[in-house]
Amino acid sequence: MADAGFKSGLEDVVALTSDICFIDGKEGRLVYRGYDAVDLAQHASFEEVVFLLWYGRLPNETELSALRRELAESSDPHSAVRDLIASLPVNTAPMDVLRTAVSLAGIYDPDGNAMDPEANHRKAVRLVAQIPTIVAYFEQSRHRREVLRPNPQLSLAGNFLYMLTGQNPSEQSVKALDTALILHADHELNASTFSARVTAGTLSDIYSAVTSAIGTLKGPLHGGANEQVMRMVDAIETLDNVRPWLDRAFAEKRKIMGFGHRVYKTDDPRAVVLRRISYEMGETAGTLTVYQLLEAIGAYVRERKQLHPNVDFYSGSVYRMMGIPADIFTPVFAISRIAGWTAHILEQYHNNRLIRPRAEYTGPTHLAYKPLAER
Ligand code: ACO
């Protein structure tokens, strides 16, 4: 059915050139603007990585302080967005809240539909600053708790945990979240970034492109997998049940969430770091039950299917130990990936050409029209 020019799912198709992110799928390396993401996760802050992705170089102290200030000043969404969040049914999926709230935020953005680079930069700052607030506001609002406004003294990671849980987070949690945000910040032409670039490629505005990206991230084959991994862990419950549960899933040809990757053919370097954090946070919490279940699942899936865990496999366990509810795991992914989305959208605007592939048509071509009465 496919000829040589057709690749199902666009596998290995190079759709554009980019200076932002490089994945070596054989070696298991992820590189942002020349820097190893694992190295950045160890030494940098998420805010530094946002700057790096946007500008192609690490900031100096003055530049980093200026970005932190801009983010802090922009972190509270327009009152219309806050009102929308407060009015939504409490059982709305948080990714749906985020998609809708970001779209609404675009309507009230002071730069409107302006497309000059300065306006787009300001909009990118607002998006990075407000997505965590939107997610935290909804969590507070659905539990009818007092909505805490952002605290400009805290880092983006610390502020999110503070607003989400209503408590001052531990240093370990803030560091772990900051590391997770760095590791999720960009990943070349993943599905959500591609959809953002397709939308930006029509010269539509940045909010429209990010709204497309959020809708794409939501699916369980992409960012939605982290939530499903923890649902699987909860369903398996005990070490004795790992093999029977997975055997059933294999027999039913179900995909095991948190495994496999289109590009990595070895360990996903992000999963390696998150695995260590999952262990460390479990030790601090005094329970390694979830970690041990993940290890047993990982070992058996590798043995039976030769599949490696991806970034979504350990992240949920880390987020749970910070007090983040399961349906907010994928929104946390968005809180990070907005850095990469905006970098890619700005790059797309800078050197734009409409993205418009072809389909290999497989239907008939010469049917004769039959009048309604004869059908
Ligand atoms: N569980 C069981 N089998 C799998 C899995 C899995 N998680 N992943 C791949 N396979 C098998 C497939 O069944 C297929 O086998 P077959 O050739 O015998 O039919 C083979 O490996 C190739 O899989 P594809 O689905 O064709 O690989 P593709 O590159 O299209 O998909 C994807 C990649 C979507 C990540 C896939 O591995 C998957 O569905 N994983 C589970 C969902 C997940 O964890 N998503 C998060 C990805 S990371 C991210 O987006 C942040």
Give yes or no for residue 305 CB within 6 A of ligand 1. Answer: yes
Other residues' Cβ atoms within 10 Å of the Cβ of residue 318:
29
- Using the mean position of ligand 1's atoms as its centre, give its distance from the Cα of residue 229 in Å: 14
Measure the CA–CA gap between 158 and 106, rounded to whole angstroms. Answer: 25
pLDDT of 207 reads 98
pLDDT of 2 reads 44
State the DSSP H helix or E strand holding residue 46, giving kind and residue range, or none if neither.
helix 46-55
Cα-based distances in Å from 289 to 3, 278, 282 = 49, 11, 8
Give yes or no for residue 286 CB within 6 A of ligand 1. Answer: no
In 3D space, the residue among 263, 272, 258, 332 whose CA is nearest the CA of residue 22 turns out to be 263
Strand partners, 21: 32
Query: To test ligand 1's pocket by mutation, which of 12, 259, 297, 312 has the most ligand atoms within 8 angstroms of CB?
Result: 259
Give yes or no for residue 302 CB within 6 A of ligand 1. Answer: no
- Using the mean position of ligand 1's atoms as its centre, give its distance from the Cα of residue 256 in Å: 8
- Using the mean position of ligand 1's atoms as its centre, give its distance from the Cα of residue 260 in Å: 5
Nearest CA residue ID for atom 37, ligand 1: 260
Give yes or no for residue 337 CB within 6 A of ligand 1. Answer: no
pLDDT of 4 reads 56
Give yes or no for residue 197 CB within 6 A of ligand 1. Answer: no
| DSSP per-residue letters across 161-177 | HHHHHSSPPPHHHHHHH
Cα-based distances in Å from 104 to 207, 311, 322 = 9, 30, 29
Nearest CA residue ID for atom 50, ligand 1: 222
Q: Are the CB atoms for 41 and 179 separated by under 8 Å? A: yes
- Using the mean position of ligand 1's atoms as its centre, give its distance from the Cα of residue 226 in Å: 14
Which listed residue (261, 268, 308, 344) is catalytic? 261
pLDDT of 79 reads 97
Give yes or no for residue 265 CB within 6 A of ligand 1. Answer: no
Give yes or no for residue 184 CB within 6 A of ligand 1. Answer: no
Give yes or no for residue 218 CB within 6 A of ligand 1. Answer: no
Measure the CA–CA gap between 367 and 345, rounded to whole angstroms. Answer: 42
Nearest CA residue ID for atom 41, ligand 1: 257
Whether 24 sits among the annotated catalytic residues: the reply is no
- Using the mean position of ligand 1's atoms as its centre, give its distance from the Cα of residue 255 in Å: 7
Cα-based distances in Å from 250 to 108, 228, 274 = 48, 16, 26
pLDDT of 337 reads 98
The CA-based dihedral angle spanning residues 22, 26, 27, 33, taken in that order and rounded to the nearest 10 degrees: 0
Give yes or no for residue 232 CB within 6 A of ligand 1. Answer: no
Q: Which amino acid is at 52?
A: L
Which listed residue (178, 186, 205, 312) is catalytic? 312
Measure the CA–CA gap between 23 and 161, rounded to whole angstroms. Answer: 30
The angle at the Cα of 228, spanning 209 to 217, to the nearest 5 degrees, equals 5
Tens digit of pLDDT per residue, the chain (375 long)?
445 578 999 999 999 999 999 999 999 999 999 999 999 999 999 999 999 999 999 999 999 999 999 999 999 999 999 999 999 999 999 999 999 999 999 999 999 899 999 999 999 999 999 999 999 999 999 998 988 888 888 999 999 999 999 999 999 999 999 999 999 999 999 999 999 999 999 999 999 999 999 999 999 999 999 999 999 999 999 999 999 999 999 999 999 999 999 999 999 999 999 999 999 999 999 999 999 999 999 999 999 999 999 999 999 999 999 999 999 999 999 999 999 999 999 999 999 999 999 999 999 999 999 999 999
Please state the pTM of the whole predicted model.
0.96
Q: Give the residue ranges of DSSP H helices in 222-365.
A: 225-236, 242-251, 269-285, 289-305, 311-321, 329-350
Whether 312 sits among the annotated catalytic residues: the reply is yes
Measure the CA–CA gap between 150 and 105, rounded to whole angstroms. Answer: 17
- Using the mean position of ligand 1's atoms as its centre, give its distance from the Cα of residue 294 in Å: 18
| Residue 93, token pair as written in the block | 């999926």
Which residue shows structure tokens 């350990």? Answer: 314
Report the phi/psi class of residue 188: left, alpha or beta, with left for phi > 0 and alpha for psi in -120 to 50.
left
Measure the CA–CA gap between 139 and 166, rounded to whole angstroms. Answer: 10
Q: Domains, the chain, ranges and CATH? A: 18-219+327-350 (1.10.580.10), 225-321 (1.10.230.10)
Give yes or no for residue 10 CB within 6 A of ligand 1. Answer: no
Looking at the CA of residue 9, tell me the nearest atom of ligand 1: 30
| Residue 12, token pair as written in the block | 């290995």
Q: Are the CB atoms for 185 and 336 separated by under 8 Å? A: yes
